[in-house]
Chain A
Amino acid sequence: MKPTMRQSYEHAMAPGLTAASPRHLARYLIWGLTALVMAVAPLIFSSGFAITLLSQMGIMIIFALSYNMLLGQSGMLSFGHAVYSGMGAFIAVHVLNQVGAGALWFPVSLLPLVGGLGGAFFGILFGYVTTRKAGTTFAMITLGIGEMVFASSLMFPDFFGGEGGISTNRVVGNAVLGITYGPGRQVYYLIALWCLLSMVAMYAWTQTPLGRIANAVRDNAERAEFVGYNTQRVRYLVVILSAFFAGISGGLSVINFEIVSAENVGAVHSGSVLLATFIGGGGFFFGPVIGAVVFVLFAVALSSLTQAWLLYLGLFFVLMVMFVPGGVSSLLMKQVPLLARRKLGRMLPSYSVALGAGVVLLAALILTVELTYKLQIDSDNGTGMTLVGFAFDAASFKPWAVAVALWLAGALAWRAAVARVHQAWDAVQAEMAGGGV
């Protein structure tokens, strides 16, 4: 997984060296490592909850990467991407139910492909309309199509299952090699395999003529027209391909949750993938992977800990957009030149001060939010509460005083830390620019 914006590195090497060059080696290493992490993760985090979490991460990674084919690679801001994953999921769930009823023979392992083809079909259908325009107009049309599909999900209860959605059973047909997809772990490995395949395919796409021209259209659509490309056709093809991968994620969600409802095509789901992609950052291929992992941690892990998870996610999103518009991946990639020149160590002291200050601010935020939630929403059950082992009364003076103290201390520490980080950063940059090769 390499930065997508400057992918021309393969050009830098002599034509003769291909297979054995260090760049290729690094690429195989990264993919190998990714596969290894995916294979080993459920052995380390083996609780049922962890497997659920990992499965949802896998699905979200595919979904977010497919979204970034539009946003990061081609400059198309879509507000209706859930239409493709959702419609893919509905097609897949009907096929699975037909298999369950014995009307059809089809291996469950290949069900995501059905979802993908379903997604691509609706990409062909709706993409024809949305991609006629670019920019804001494109965004508005996708919003409209999203609302239209969501509205029609209640109009066609046979296909969409009305308000209850359509449920299914993934354990159908004969077990192949003992794989029934009953246990969550088997489902996880199916998701992991499809996730890896989709990641490789989507990365490979960024290295094709269409992938590069999509970047060109993102940068300057007019100029692309003057080097022979119909930009409308480029956008249309990208939407279809992206819808295919979105559909795969939809097909996997059918197997994972065994239910599909109108929510799957809804605006909230479309918003989620936008959030995840932004948080991770669309500028680098692996950005949405990070975004998907963070998003699922918020939406699944944090939501089981606190009612206020959506507030935390919203705050996190706003802070990212304001201060790190390139997402987590851009923050990481900024460290790479430092790492390459062994200067990262110089930054670590100031980074750790900033981290400490951040933790204090986070504690202040959590305390304030949880106290407020307790008093405003949950006061019927009394105002006593516990937070990380401390028991206290939310209506009393003391916890609020602690919160104020944390805010003050955190803010002061943060100011000092930011100044230190800037100072260290400038010093290191000056050293690197000053011929310290």
Chain B
Amino acid sequence: MTAALELSELTKNFGQTEIIRGVNLSIPKGERHALIGPNGAGKSTTFNLISGRCAPSSGSVKLNGVEIGGLKPFVINRMGLSRSFQITNIFHRLSVFENLRCAVLWSLGYKYSFWHRLAKLHDARQRAEEVLELIGLQRRSETQASLLTYAEQRALEIGITIAGGAEVILLDEPTAGMSRSESDQAVELIRNVTVGKTLVMVEHDMGVVFGLADRISVLVYGEVIATDTPEAIRNNSKVKEAYLGASLDESSTEGAH
């Protein structure tokens, strides 16, 4: 079976600086995969290379066996890959409902239509309402997105990402800046919305990582030093070294309950 996402010998230079130095990674369909690593390891850059925000310097990115490296973000999105952002990236002057409806329009085939009336597009409304319910913002439907609380905006961010029905979901630090209880809710949400999909997430919160991921890859200085199950990663000496031992153990035990 072809992998949902396959990176091989992926590199990215910004000028003389090598940020990504030959990443190899294969993620089968349906897996929940976490990408961890110290700050500046190149996790977000890897996401940017996969999602088309920037083009790789060399190497390949394959989505379901099809090369997508260097394609435009909207082309990659139409092929079934959707991503969220570390810094909340929503349509701030539109209502929550309109944010979600915008995110479903292309996938339902309405493209650039100016001959359909939105009010008559029942499938778009229905899909947007489904997502609204999934992310638990029904009561905020008419609220302007910029007026939401931080945690609500993060939920909307995930909602926009999954609304189009993409099969491969990339989440960039979905729980960054959240309190413990907010973060627990976010994990539940992520679990619910990615059922049957392939999930790749960058996350610093080890509780979230070990709670969600089927497999974990550790990125250090632009290279994947290990890819394995959470249990094996926890006991991997190279990983321990990269993380200077302590922090990984502490947070993993905290997240184990």
Interface positions of A (Cβ within 8 A of B): 5-12, 15, 18, 204-205, 207-213, 215-216, 218-220, 222-231, 233-234, 237, 241
Contacts and interface: CB of A to CB of B under 8 A. Distances in A.
Candidate in B51, B98, B112, B163 with the most chain A CB atoms within 10 angstroms: B112
B101 A212 contact: yes
Given A209-B111, A215-B94, A226 B51 contact: yes
A218 B105 contact: no
B200 to A, nearest CB: 15
B113 A10 contact: no
A18 B122 CA distance: 12
Interface of B: 51, 72-74, 77-78, 82-83, 85, 89-95, 97-99, 101-103, 105-107, 110-119, 121-122, 125, 141-142, 144, 160, 163-164
A228 B116 CA distance: 18
Contact of B144 (A6, A15, A209, A212): A6
Contacts of A18: 119
A94 B116 CA distance: 35
A208 B164 contact: no
Contacts of B112: 209-210, 213, 229, 233-234, 237
Contact of B73 (A212, A213, A225, A233): A225
B132 to A, nearest CB: 10
B90 A223 contact: yes
B115 A227 contact: no
Candidate in A10, A209, A218, A220 with the most chain B CB atoms within 10 angstroms: A209
Contact of B92 (A7, A9, A219): A219
B98 A226 contact: no
Contacts of B117: 204, 207-208
Contacts of B102: 212-213, 215-216, 224, 227
A18 B97 CA distance: 19
Contacts of A220: 89-92
A366 to B, nearest CB: 38
Given A8-B142, A225-B73, A230-B74, A209 B110 contact: yes
A199 B91 CA distance: 26
B172 to A, nearest CB: 11
Contacts of A241: 114
Given A6-B142, A8-B142, A11-B125, A207 B91 contact: no
A5 B106 contact: no
Contact of A215 (B82, B91, B121, B163): B91
Given A6-B142, A219-B91, A213 B83 contact: no
B139 to A, nearest CB: 13
B107 A228 contact: yes
A213 B105 contact: yes
Contacts of A237: 112, 114
8 contacts: A6-B95, A208-B116, A210-B113, A212-B101, A213-B112, A227-B105, A227-B163, A228-B78
Contact of A228 (B89, B106, B115): B106
B118 A208 contact: yes
A74 to B, nearest CB: 12
B59 to A, nearest CB: 22
Contacts of B91: 215-216, 219-220, 223-224
A235 B185 CA distance: 38
- The 8 closest A-B CB pairs, nearest first, are A228-B106, A219-B91, A10-B119, A210-B114, A209-B110, A225-B73, A216-B102, A228-B77
Nearest to B102: A216
A231 B106 CA distance: 13
Nearest to B128: A11
A325 to B, nearest CB: 14
B72 A230 contact: yes
Nearest to A237: B112
A223 B160 contact: yes
Contacts of B111: 209
Given A226-B82, A227-B102, A229-B106, A209 B95 contact: no
A59 to B, nearest CB: 24
Given A15-B125, A223-B160, 6 more contacts: A8-B98, A8-B142, A11-B141, A208-B117, A216-B102, A229-B74
Candidate in B77, B91, B142, B144 with the most chain A CB atoms within 10 angstroms: B91
B94 A219 contact: yes
Contacts of B78: 228
B71 to A, nearest CB: 11
Nearest to A211: B114
B160 to A, nearest CB: 7
Nearest to B126: A15
Contact of A227 (B72, B94, B160): B160
Contact of B113 (A209, A226, A231): A209
Contact of B105 (A209, A225, A233): A209
A15 B120 CA distance: 10
Contacts of B105: 209, 212-213, 227
A226 B85 CA distance: 10
Nearest to A283: B93
B98 A228 contact: no
Nearest to B76: A226
Candidate in A9, A12, A227, A229 with the most chain B CB atoms within 10 angstroms: A227
